[in-house]
Amino acid sequence: MYEGAVQDLIDELGRLPGVGPKSAQRIAFHILSADPADTTRLSQAIQRVKDTVRFCVRCWNVSEQEECRVCRDPRREPSLVCVVEEARDVVAIERTREYRGRYHVLGGAISPIDGIGPDDLHVKELLTRLGAEPVAEVIIATNPNIEGEATASYLSRLIAPLGVRVTRLASGLPVGGDLDYADEVTLGRAFAGRRDV
């Protein structure tokens, strides 16, 4: 254990995803010995992201305005909605430049182990959108793992009776991997080969 401020910093860093106690300690001491200008920039970046970035009121993507850049873009096809787990999946798909529709970010996947059910995701908001927007096809691009598949299957059962076409990104994605690990070529191919579910 270290004295007050240092230990507080280690504790806070340790709460970040993917940062273990040893890494937290290493980062803390790096910050301690870093140039004050660098650490000021870091703390300002953190503060600014919390002050200015929020979630798009339409699709739950991250946004600096009420609606995100994709939703504001009049060239995007409003009849296509691609459902993803996280905002970082939007970035991965945007990089392929293959997709011209809009998104809907669920905020996770159904996982009883983690206590996450449909009510903890933006599922109701998706259904509301399907009633209010001229959506003809929903492309489900949840991760190709157990939880992503279960979520896809749950959504397709919910949406299909509404008369909206539901498709799932074809495989070609690494099994068990997160969507944002898929390289751009593979993802591009996945869009071309999506299948009805």
- Residues near other proteins (CB under 8 A), total: 17
Angstrom distance (rounded) from CA 103 to CA 132 = 15
Give the sign of the dihedral formed by CA 166, CA 172, CA 177, CA 178. Answer: negative
Beta carbon nearer to other proteins, 67 or 149: 149
58 binds, among Zn ion, other proteins, none (CB under 5 to 8 A by kind): Zn ion
Q: Starting at the edge strand that comes first in sequence, how are the strands of the sheet with 165-168 ordered? A: 101-105, 77-84, 137-140, 165-168, 195-196
59 binds, among Zn ion, other proteins, none (CB under 5 to 8 A by kind): Zn ion
187 binds, among other proteins, Zn ion, none (CB under 5 to 8 A by kind): none
Q: Give the pairing type, strands 165-168 and 137-140.
A: parallel
For residue 161 the two structure tokens come to 């009776």
Beta carbon nearer to other proteins, 59 or 121: 121
Is there binding between residue 176 and other proteins (CB under 8 A)? Answer: yes
In the complex, least distance from residue 144 CB atom to other proteins, rounded to whole angstroms: 11
Angstrom distance (rounded) from CA 133 to CA 135 = 6
Is there binding between residue 19 and other proteins (CB under 8 A)? Answer: no
In the complex, least distance from residue 175 CB atom to other proteins, rounded to whole angstroms: 7
Angstrom distance (rounded) from CA 36 to CA 34 = 6
**Which positions touch other proteins (CB under 8 A)?**
110-113, 115, 117-119, 146-147, 149-150, 153-154, 157, 175-176
